Structure 1
Amino acid sequence: MSSSTLLNPTQPVNQQIYRILRRDIVHCLIPPGTPLSEKEVSIRFEVSRQPVREAFIKLAETGLVQIRPQRGTYVNKISVSQVKNGCFVREAIERAVVKRAASMATDEHLYMLEQLLNQQRTAIDRNQMNDFFQLDDEFHQQLALVADCRLAWDTVENIKATMDRVRYMSLDHVTPPEMLLSQHHEIFDALKRHDEHDVDQAMHRHLHEISQSILLIRKEKRDWFSEE
């Protein structure tokens, strides 16, 4: 964590540090139990400790870290109950989103979604899993925009940090990108038909994968998980 990481001077520093640390934790570059030092992070980003402290607070709010007064900040284990609850809430929101989107999708919306699917195909072909992971999120975010409900995605984004760690660990063998892309195409095809029932069922099948994958990932990385 000692090497410098350049930040964009036009964006809030604390938000950038939060996003970078969130990505590092989600991508398993910082495993559970790892202590996070305000001093080391401030050196890494060449900033004062205040924006680092603010980033830590945001990470704690999403469940990724625990701040222990007088003892430090540590990356949390993956909470099984938090993942399950997050899956429940996310599915409820996103199934409502796609049903609404089915009646609102225009040719322009469909074109943008199709472009994202093409980019996902390219990422898979090039074995660029980090890019695919990001494009997966962008596809779901675009669905919320089609439904004219940005708040829906903002809500999902705020609750899915712990879930994302399971998603990332599942990519290479439990929920391979080829399968996820096929499910995205099912959602897209139902949207093109403006079929609320089919798009709802397609989203249900797609998001159900995460609740199944946690069972397999927990067996492989038992020491990474807590039952809380």
Structure 2
Amino acid sequence: MVQTQTTQNKSDLTFKAYMAIRQMLFYNEIQPGQKIKYKDLATRIGVSMTPVIQALKWLEFHNIVRHESNKGYYINEVSVKEITEVYDTRLLLEVSLVPGIIGHLNDQGIRKLAATLDDYKAAVAEDNYHKRIMTDMKFHMTLAALSKCHIQVKMLQELFDILLLRYNQNLFYLSMTGTSLAEHEDIFNSIKKRDQVRLEASLKFHVDTVRNHITKGMSRLVPDKKESF
């Protein structure tokens, strides 16, 4: 019993460190390419260095950080090639979920999606970038969850984690507010009409448009960076 409690406490501290580091990444308090100082992070979070290192191992598994032998952990640099692959995979995943979304759709699901769309509209009207990017993700994740395809939904969440934790600052400078709102509304209207063909086309157009805009902008920001990951 004591051993089980001790294990749980260690797990809780690791999760606390993991969530704290995620938040720092999201708010750009840790930058791509930056070396991570374990001791400073542990002091800031209020835990020992062991939970911090365990949390960094989780982030390494998701390709957010990398470990260099005898040097430590670093935040992975941005990559136009990687973000292109992330959006390409997002496109495949989200469109593949459409039949399941339509097949499992009910009034409750429509209401849930409508609430996330309202939150996104409010964030756009408020011109709050961080709120807008989070409500955008919530809209897409709520839509995907309607499919009841748990493995694919988990994979989609991991792709959003890469976008939010690795590319947040770049997405801020390259974000599209006006057109994205109209595209979200078109996706929602397709859902309300239970129109599978239109929903697939709306999702494809939206993700394609965002991907092309982001990758074109990033290519200008990091034109000379070699793509290797």
TM-score range, shorter chain: 0.7 to 0.9
> Which of the two has greater helix per residue?
2
CA–CA distance in structure 2, aligned partners of residues 117 and 220 of structure 1: 31
Sequence identity percentage = 19
The answer as to whether partners of 1:103 and 1:196 remain within 8 angstroms in 2 is no
Structure 1 position 127 matched with structure 2 position 130: no
CA–CA distance in structure 1, aligned partners of residues 192 and 65 of structure 2: 41
CA 167–73 in structure 1, closer or farther in 2 if over 3 Å, else same: closer
Q: Residue 221 of structure 2 aligns with which residue?
A: 220
In structure 2, the gaps of 5 or more residues are 1-8
Shift of 1:93: 1.1
CA–CA distance in structure 2, aligned partners of residues 183 and 13 of structure 1: 41
Q: Residue 84 of structure 1 aligns with which residue?
A: 84
Shift of 1:144: 2.2
Structure 1 position 61 matched with structure 2 position 61: yes
AA of the residue aligned to 1:53? I
TM-score by length of 2: 0.84
Structure 1 position 71 matched with structure 2 position 66: no
Matched ranges for 1:178-217 at <5 A: 178-212=178-212, 213-217=214-218
**Count of residues paired in the alignment:** 217
CA 226–211 in structure 1, closer or farther in 2 if over 3 Å, else same: farther
The answer as to whether partners of 2:80 and 2:227 remain within 8 angstroms in 1 is yes
CA–CA distance in structure 2, aligned partners of residues 79 and 197 of structure 1: 33
Q: Residue 138 of structure 1 aligns with which residue?
A: 138
CA 16–206 in structure 1, closer or farther in 2 if over 3 Å, else same: farther
CA 12–31 in structure 1, closer or farther in 2 if over 3 Å, else same: same
**3-state SS of 2:187 partner:** helix
In structure 1, the gaps of 5 or more residues are 1-8
CA–CA distance in structure 2, aligned partners of residues 13 and 214 of structure 1: 37
Q: Which is further off, 176-185 or 163-172?
A: 163-172
**3-state SS of 1:31 partner:** coil
Matched ranges for 1:103-114 at <5 A: 103-114=103-114
Larger Rg: 2
CA 16–215 in structure 1, closer or farther in 2 if over 3 Å, else same: farther
AA of the residue aligned to 2:148? D
Shift of 1:56: 0.7
TM-score by length of 1: 0.85
CA–CA distance in structure 1, aligned partners of residues 133 and 77 of structure 2: 21
